[in-house]
Amino acid sequence: MPSSSFSRFRSLRIWSTKDYAIAAFIFLLLFSFTFLSPFDSDSDSKFVSRSDLVPLTLLRNIANRTQPLCLDGSAPGYHFQNGFGSGSRNWLIHVEGGGWCNSVSSCSQRALTHLGSSKYMETSIPFTGILSSDPSQNPDFFNWNKVKIRYCDGASFAGHPENEKGSRLFFRGQIIWEAIMDELLSIGMSKAKQALLSGCSAGGLATLIHCDDFRQVLPKEATVKCLADAGFFLDEKDISGNRTMRSFYNDVVQLQGVANSLHKDCIAKMEPSKCLFPSEIGKNIKTPVFLVQPAYDFWQIRNILVPQGSDPRGYWKSCRLNIRNCNANMMNVLDRFRSSLVKTVKEFQQQKEIGTFINSCFIHCQTEMGVTWHSPNSPKINDKTIAESVADWFFDQESVNRIDCPYPCNPTCHNMESTLIG
Active site positions, annotated: 201, 297, 364
SS3 301: helix
Angle, CA of 177, 393 and 53, to the nearest 5°: 50
Give the amino acid at 375.
S
> What is the distance between the alpha carbons of residues 341 and 286, in angstroms, rounded to a whole number?
21
Handedness of CA 271, 333, 311, 322 (dihedral sign): negative
Which residues are CB-neighbours of 265 under 8 A, at least 6 positions away?
284
DSSP designation for 72: T
Element (H, E) at 355: strand 354-359
Are 364 and 414 in contact, with CB atoms under 8 Å apart?
Answer: no
Beta strand pairing status for 33-36 and 6-9? Answer: antiparallel
How far apart, in Å, are the Cα atoms of 414 and each of 2, 222, 296, 406?
Answer: 10, 35, 12, 14
> What is the distance between the alpha carbons of residues 296 and 323, in angstroms, rounded to a whole number?
9
